[in-house]
Every structure is written in C-alpha cells, then in structure tokens.
C-alpha cells in the first residue's frame, strides 16, 4: 500500500518548520551571548584588572595588617609625645628651681654685703646688737637677734653669751625675771632645751663678724611680760644691750 502523498507533504512541512524554529532559537541564544560579552567588554575600563576571590581576601588581610601596624605606630608616637611633654615639664621645673636658688644666693650675698656696711666703726672687736624681734608665741616668747662685731681682718673670735630679762607683772606686782630658752633653732632643726647648764649653753655666743640667734623663751607661770631687755655678756661684763616693748 502506497503512502498518501498529502500526508507525506504535511510531514515534510512540519519538519521544515521545526528546523526553522530551532535555527531561529539557536541564533537568538548566540546573539544574546555575543551581545552580553560585547557589552561587558564595552563598559569595562580598559585598565581594569580582574582578580579572584582568593586574591581579594589576601588583599583585605594585608590591608587589615597595615591598619594594625598603623595603630601601633600611632600609639608609640602618642607615648613618645607624652614622655616629651613630661620631660619638658620636668626641665622647666628644674630651671625654675635653679633660678630661685640663684636668686636666693644673690639675696644672701647682698645681705652679707649690707651687714658688712653696717659694721660699727667703733673700737676693734666691739659687739653691737643690730636687730631684735620678740613676739608672743603661745605660752612663751619667740625671739630673733642679730649681732655684729667690728674688726674684719684677723683677731680672735668673740666668745660670750646672751641674756634675756623681762619686766612685767606677777601676782599684781611689777618684777624683773631672767628668761631661759625652752627651744633654740639649730642647724638640724628646733631643739628643746632642758636643764640650767643646757639652757646656758644654748645662749652661748662664738662668732667673728656676725651671728643670728633665734628660739623660744619660757615664761614663768602667772608672769605677764611687758618688755624684754637683751644683753650681750663677755664673762660678767655687759658689752651691748637693747630693750624691746612687747605688744599686747
């Protein structure tokens, strides 16, 4: 039995259409792919560099390490700046102390020169009481005495003692009493005086040109001093004397 010519013709037509559609689809796919790659190439910068994900991670790690190193270096710089500020402050403080010490040395030198000018032109070796300051201090009297002596070159030192006599009232009567020190300023600091021999020794004098003496005098209980007389003794001889009226 022979094939129907009409059926054969229709089958051929369907196969041809299928091949046409398949060709068109392949063309569209190829064209789309070509367009995509063309557009990518067109809009990508000419100098762009394409890196892999591993390379990107490596660059991120390197950047993180550089940031850590930068923070460490900045911390060291801040520490160095702080140490520099401290060193500069310490140096300025030392310079201030040095200037103060130099000023004090100059003041003492000027004071010594002033004292030398005040040396009395009297007999060689004569002693004078240049200044006396006595103030009430609690239950005692705080004193400061400056003694000076003529004769600047050679000669024996003056050896003597100070004597303090106060005039005031005791039990309603006017009396004069000898005052003894209960504290004398020494090189190592204030020293408390006890005993008659120690008190006498604390008022002893030994100097060539000038001497300062200061301390606190004990006041008898119930005695109200009104004035104090300071005397410089050489043995039993009074070489100089000065009286000070106390402020109430």
Q: What is the pLDDT of residue 36?
A: 53
> Are 103 and 133 in a shared domain?
no
pTM of the model as a whole: 0.48
Domain boundary among 75, 96, 117: 117
Residues of the chain with pLDDT under 50: 7-8, 11, 14, 121, 186-191, 195, 197
Cβ-Cβ contacts under 8 Å for 240 (sequence gap 6 or more): 127, 128, 129, 147, 231, 232
> Are 65 and 141 in a shared domain?
no
Domain boundary among 117, 143, 164: 117
Here the CATH number for the domain that contains residue 209 is 2.60.40
For residue range 17-50, what is the model confidence (pLDDT) as tens digits?
566 555 555 555 565 555 555 555 555 555 556 6
Give the domain extent around 104: 56-117
> Are 154 and 186 in a shared domain?
yes
Q: What is the pLDDT of residue 16?
A: 56
> Are 86 and 66 in a shared domain?
yes
Domains in the chain: how many in total? 2
User: How far apart (Å, rounded) are the C-alpha atoms in residues 41 and 216?
Assistant: 105
For residue range 225-236, what is the model confidence (pLDDT) as tens digits?
999 999 999 988
């Amino acid at each position: 039995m022979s094939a129907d010519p009409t059926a054969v013709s229709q089958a051929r037509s369907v196969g041809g259409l299928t091949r046409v559609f398949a060709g068109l689809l392949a063309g569209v796919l190829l064209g789309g792919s070509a367009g995509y790659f063309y557009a990518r190439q067109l809009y990508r910068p000419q100098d762009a560099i394409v890196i892999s994900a591993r390379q990107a991670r490596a660059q991120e790690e390197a950047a993180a390490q550089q940031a850590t190193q930068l923070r460490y270096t900045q911390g060291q710089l801040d520490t160095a700046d702080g140490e520099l500020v401290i060193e500069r402050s310490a140096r300025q403080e030392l310079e201030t102390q040095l200037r103060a010490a130099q000023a004090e040395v100059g003041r003492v030198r000027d004071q010594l020169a002033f004292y030398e000018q005040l040396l009395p032109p009297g007999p060689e070796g004569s002693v004078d009481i240049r200044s006396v300051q006595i103030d009430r201090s609690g239950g005692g009297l705080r004193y400061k005495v400056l003694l000076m002596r003529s004769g600047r070159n050679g000669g024996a030192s003056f050896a003597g003692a100070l004597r303090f006599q106060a005039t005031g009232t005791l039990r309603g009567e006017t009396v004069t009493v000898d005052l003894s020190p209960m504290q004398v300023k020494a090189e190592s600091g204030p020293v408390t005086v006890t005993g008659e021999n120690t008190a006498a020794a604390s008022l002893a004098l030994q100097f060539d040109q000038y001497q300062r003496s200061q301390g606190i005098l004990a006041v008898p209980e119930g005695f109200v001093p009104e004035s104090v007389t300071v005397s410089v003794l050489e043995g039993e001889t009074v070489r100089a004397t000065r009286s000070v009226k106390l402020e109430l």
